[in-house]
């Protein structure tokens, strides 16, 4: 039996020092000079512009009838919890609610196949308003985030943690979610009389 070859671990490549004679004069790195900051100079800072509807950090465009953007998993979890979407939204917000569904969300439900045919039938309910998408691709999360940032009149209904995390960074957008077999809402201004849990 021959001698087995073993791999050498943590072997580093040998580097040529910048002062080596083989490196040409023009290729040598020049020592970088640090610029001293002038304390009297005016510091520029870019602050994101918020729409005027967020006066005193309350969204003034929100109000009955509420426009609720629905996500794919929100419909699926509503079916599992045996909740009627429109009725449960009204019970949560104490006002008329219009659920909106985008083309991307519809495409996502259709892609899920026969297992989610009940969700597809609910999404095609005439009480749901359809929103057409003009962008390319069918990634629903990006579509919903884009819509919510452009128009501050929507409440986003989702159960997805990642999407919730993205929406929380956008000011003035309430999130509707499911807990304890009922709909709850977070980040809703107190002025609108939404329930606090």
Q: For residue 160, tell me if it sits in a domain.
A: yes
CB 196 within 8 A of CB 174: no
Given pLDDT bands bounded at 50, 70 and 90, which one contains residue 118?
Answer: very high
- CATH number, domain of 152, equals 3.40.50.1010
Over residues 160-168, mean pLDDT:
93
Residue 32 vs residue 49, higher pLDDT: 49
| pLDDT for res 190 | 61
And the tokens for 138?
A: 């069918």
- Name the one residue in this structure whose structure tokens are 């039996």: 1
Whether the pLDDT of residue 149 is over 80: the answer is yes
In a domain, 157, yes or no: yes
In this prediction, residue 32 carries a pLDDT of 64
Query: What does residue 31 show for φ and ψ, rounded to 5 degrees?
Result: -65, 130
Within a domain: 146: yes
Question: Largest Cα–Cα distance of the chain, in whole Å?
Answer: 84
Q: How many domains does the chain have?
A: 1
| Least confident residue range of 56-65, 114-123, 159-168, 178-187 | 56-65
- Give the mean pLDDT of 105-131: 93
pLDDT at residue number 1: 58
- pLDDT at residue 2, as a whole number: 65
What are 55's two structure tokens? 């006066």
For residue 55, tell me if it sits in a domain: no
| Domain of 123, in residue numbers | 63-189
Residue 25 belongs to a domain: no
Q: Does a structural domain hold residue 56?
A: no
- pTM above 0.85? no
Residue 141 forms part of a structural domain: yes
- Residue 176 has a CB neighbour count (10 Å cut-off) of 26
Q: Is residue 29 part of a domain?
A: no
What secondary structure does DSSP assign to 96-134, as a single string? Answer: -EEEEEEHHHHHHHHHT-GGGHHHHHHHT-TTSEEE---
């Amino acid at each position: 039996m021959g001698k087995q070859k073993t791999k050498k671990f943590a072997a580093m490549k040998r580097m040529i020092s910048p002062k080596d004679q083989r490196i040409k004069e023009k290729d040598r790195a020049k020592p970088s000079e640090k610029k001293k900051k002038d304390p009297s100079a005016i510091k520029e800072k870019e602050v994101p512009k918020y729409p005027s509807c967020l006066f005193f950090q309350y969204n003034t465009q929100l109000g009955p009838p509420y426009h609720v953007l629905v996500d794919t998993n929100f419909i699926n979890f509503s079916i599992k919890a045996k909740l009627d979407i429109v009725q449960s939204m009204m019970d949560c917000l104490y006002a008329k609610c219009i659920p909106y569904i985008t083309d991307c969300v519809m495409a996502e439900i259709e892609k899920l196949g026969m297992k989610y045919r009940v969700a597809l039938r609910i999404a095609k309910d005439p009480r749901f308003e359809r929103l057409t998408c003009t962008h390319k691709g069918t990634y629903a999360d990006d579509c919903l985030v884009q819509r919510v940032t452009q128009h501050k009149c929507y409440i986003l209904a989702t159960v997805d943690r990642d999407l919730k995390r993205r929406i929380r960074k956008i000011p003035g957008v309430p999130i509707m979610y499911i807990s304890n077999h009922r709909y709850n809402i977070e980040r809703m201004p107190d002025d609108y009389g939404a329930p606090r849990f």
